[in-house]
Amino acid sequence: MRKIVVVINGKGKAGKDTICDIVSRHFSSVNVSSISPIKEIARQHGWNGEKDNNSRRFLSSLKKAFSEFNDLPTQYLLSKYSEFIADQEHEIMFAHIREASEIARFSSMVPTPLVTLFIDRPGLGRYDNESDDDAGNYTYDYVYVNNKPFKSLEDDFMRFFNSIVGSA
């Protein structure tokens, strides 16, 4: 299989990490997030790792500031992309990106086959931060509705994902 980049997005608790874990049982994959360097900076300055609404709002604001200041989130993803291309082990790179402008920017800079995937989960509310609340405001290549019971999720998603991999 050739390498493919999957930009994955969805609101908090939509099941993105669960989906990535499922794929990792079937393909050699790497999972990176544009928020990772921001979380590291936040931890160094008192954030305790919580994912409550206040913390989500804080991280969203901090990420926006770094994006405007020095494009840290995209530059971080591009460095991880370079590592992915250089390694011989991984077939799929999941790049978690929330903001539409950053999805478009990263996608335009990656020559490897790339698809965008939105994980939708009915019933999720608002988080009062633009990163989470605007997650659906992008024209994704694929949308997966995560509404299956957990025990049938893997088979259902892998049928869906194999059709993506086959057409990329």
Helix (H, G, I), strand (E, B) or coil at 31: strand
Question: What is the CATH number for 12?
Answer: 3.40.50.300
Q: What is the tens place of the pLDDT at every residue in 37-82?
A: 999 999 999 999 998 888 988 999 999 999 999 999 999 999 999 9
User: Which residues span the domain enclosing 109?
Assistant: 4-167
- pTM for this entry: 0.93
Indicate left, alpha or beta for 36 from its phi (over 0: left) and psi (-120 to 50: alpha).
Answer: alpha
Task: For residues 96 and 121, give the distance between their C-alpha atoms in angstroms, rounded to a whole number.
Answer: 16
pLDDT of 1 reads 63
Domain count, the chain: 1
Mean pLDDT of 135-141: 90
pLDDT level of residue 89 (50, 70, 90 thresholds): very high
